[in-house]
Amino acid sequence: MLRYLIAIVLAGIITLGLFFLMHSLIASGDTTLDDPAAGKVLDFVRVKQEEQVQQKERKPKKPPKPQEPPPQMEQPQMDAPTPDGGDSGLDFAADLGNDVALDGGLALDSGDGEYVPITKVQAVYPRRALQRGIQGYVVIEFTVNKIGAVTNPIVVEANPQGIFEQAALDAVVKFKYKPRVINGEPTEVSGVQNRITFNLD
């Protein structure tokens, strides 16, 4: 029986507590939620510093003015030829020798001359003769044509025979001559001989 009384009393107390709680919630429901909460808000704004850009004007420097003007060059004085063919100070006369004939035109005797060697190629020593220590010579006869080249080379004499002939012929065909000139025109010269010696130093 006692238990029932205690339970009824507790139930009444809890019921009253819930009633007052519901009343307080209803009473506080009339206020609006739009009002901001009390307090202070700090807003940090970073301000950029003004930058000053310096622009350099690049202009080419003017060259310094010369202190003194350059001296004037004196113009050479030229003696004008006189219209009457008199002496103008310039002598263009050529000294003609006795070997130039003027009969029937200008002769070219002064340009005549014999053939002259310009280039002579050294012969290659044959390997077989070099290994055996053989020495000798070859006499070649040929023709110098109008342009100074060697044509028709032949072996006239060789000592010893059969060793140096080909090397001598190969060298002679590379010779260059100034051709013989007769009456202003180049002429072939035949029967020219050249001795090529093969010695071991």
Does residue 156 sit within a domain?
yes
Six token digits for residue 66 = 């010369």
* CATH number of the domain within which 188 lies: 3.30.2420.10
Q: What is the pTM of this model?
A: 0.44
Nearest to 115 by CA among 75, 84, 142: 142
Count structural domains, the chain.
Answer: 1
Residue 42 has pLDDT above 70, yes or no: no
Dist. CA 51–CA 87, nearest whole Å: 87
Distance of CA 35 to the CA centre of its chain: 86
The percentage of the chain sitting over the pLDDT mark of 70, rounded to a whole number, equals 61
Does residue 182 sit within a domain?
yes
Ranking 5-9, 39-43, 136-140 by mean pLDDT, the lowest is: 39-43
Higher pLDDT among residues 114 and 94, named by residue: 114
Question: Residue 187 belongs to what domain range?
Answer: 110-198
Strand 176-178 and strand 150-159: pairing? Answer: unpaired
Does residue 131 sit within a domain?
yes
Mean pLDDT of 20-25: 83
- DSSP letter at 111? G
Does residue 189 sit within a domain?
yes
For residue range 70-100, what is the model confidence (pLDDT) as tens digits? 666 665 554 444 444 444 443 323 333 333 3
Mean pLDDT of 4-23: 87
Residue 39 has pLDDT above 50, yes or no: yes
Are 147 and 115 a contacting pair, CB within 8 Å? Answer: no
* pLDDT score, position 34: 55
Does residue 154 sit within a domain?
yes
* pLDDT score, position 146: 92
* pLDDT score, position 73: 63
Does residue 155 sit within a domain?
yes
Residue 152 has pLDDT above 70, yes or no: yes
Does residue 95 sit within a domain?
no
What integer best gives the mean pLDDT of the chain? Answer: 75
Nearest to 172 by CA among 134, 140, 126, 124: 140
Are 165 and 101 a contacting pair, CB within 8 Å? Answer: no
Does residue 14 sit within a domain?
no
Which residues lie closer than 8 Å to 188 by C-beta, 6 or more apart? Answer: 143, 144, 145, 146, 179, 180
* pLDDT score, position 26: 82
